[in-house]
Amino acid sequence: MTSSPARWTTEELAEDATVSASLFRTERLSVSGAWESHYQNARNKFELLFQKLNNLNPDGITDANLADAYGSGLGETLRYLAGPPISDDDLQVIADVDSIAPGVLKKKPEDVRKLFEVIERVIDIHRFPWLNAGTAPTDQERDAALLASSVLLAAQRIATERRVVGKDGQETQVKDYLRSQGFTEVTAATITTIVKGPQPMQFCAECLLGERKADVVVRLHDSRLMAIECKVSNSATNSVKRLNNDAAVKAEYWLKMFGTLQVVPAAMLSGVFKVMNLEQAQQRGLALFWAHDLDKLGAFIGSTK
């Protein structure tokens, strides 16, 4: 008889959710070093941009210094002159250019001007009021614009880093734990039948299990596949999207596709989750584990021998 993952009680789920939320708060409050680094990096970029474009003096912005700015890797900084900042994709489509890569733009100065004309139309007049007046900025206006722009870019960079590093870090944590249990990572490949994919004492990452991607797939000792979704949530509201509208939906698909005796859908959780959402996901066939207590994952894997 195959072993089934534990179904946690409401009290057990609430206890783990409390621990996870507490760890999340601690991590968020220890961000000062990262913030300083992102702010200083953004500040350096905007100071360099102002230097190359003559403090954004309307009479001092030429095709030559725009090309120089793009060639110096300041394309993102230029996009952040807009209010709100404009994305790479939007800028390329609106300007109707083939590419915004610096190497391509170097050969097409006319495209550089088209890009900046788009940015000029949506320039943030609150940060750069002198552009409307058609004058050079005062020292006070320049300093205020540098500060506001640097904070805006730094905030976006740290938000992006949190999203990427959070999930990637959790996935790395899971893979490192599996290695500590004697498992070996193998190259990911699409798994269309239960006999494909990792073999005994193996796992793979970022692979298609049927038509849905799984973050980590482990071959259990009893030959079943365990599909683990790594989910990091920064709020109880966000947990619905991460857990119920994504991981639980995949769980139902995998169970229907491969059968309840062949696959074990699971989620590895960290951050903030609402207990009601955890209970709902568990009822839909998703096994729940926590990044702060990986030994429970190890205990289940061991029980499949």
Residue 5, token pair as written in the block: 């993952």
pLDDT for the residue numbered 268:
96
Q: With bands split at pLDDT 50, 70 and 90, how would you rate the model's confidence at 34?
A: confident
pLDDT tens-digit readout, 190-249? 999 999 999 999 999 999 999 999 999 999 999 999 999 999 998 888 888 889 989 999
pLDDT for the residue numbered 166:
63
pLDDT for the residue numbered 60:
83
Q: Report strand pairing: 263-271 vs 184-185.
A: unpaired
Residue 301, token pair as written in the block: 């894997």
pLDDT for the residue numbered 181:
94
pLDDT for the residue numbered 61:
87
pLDDT for the residue numbered 165:
60
pLDDT tens-digit readout, 130-186? 988 888 899 999 999 999 999 999 999 888 777 666 667 889 999 999 999 999 999
Instruction: Tell me how far CA of residue 224 lies from CA of 67, 155, 191, 296, 304, in angstroms.
Output: 57, 44, 13, 18, 9
Which 8-state DSSP code applies to residue 137? P
pLDDT of 2 higher than 80:
no
The residue ranges of every structural domain in the chain are 10-30+181-303, 32-159
Q: For the CA atoms of 188, 193, 194, 197, what is the dihedral angle to 10 degrees?
A: -10
> HEC profile for 3-14?
CCCCCCCHHHHH
CB 53 within 8 Å of CB 61: yes
Q: What are phi and psi for residue 230, nearest 5 degrees?
A: -90, 120
Query: Is CATH 3.40.1350 the classification given to domain 10-30+181-303?
Result: yes
Cα 170 from chain centre: 12
pLDDT of 102 higher than 90:
no
Q: Report strand pairing: 184-185 vs 212-219.
A: unpaired
pLDDT tens-digit readout, 48-90? 999 999 999 888 888 888 888 988 889 999 999 999 999 999 9
For residues 148 and 252, what is the distance between their CA atoms, to the nearest angstrom? 47
pTM, entire model: 0.69
Whose CA is closest to 186, among 206, 173, 200, 202?
202
pLDDT for the residue numbered 283:
95
pLDDT for the residue numbered 234:
85
pLDDT for the residue numbered 256:
94
Q: With bands split at pLDDT 50, 70 and 90, how would you rate the model's confidence at 32?
A: low
pLDDT of 1 higher than 60:
no
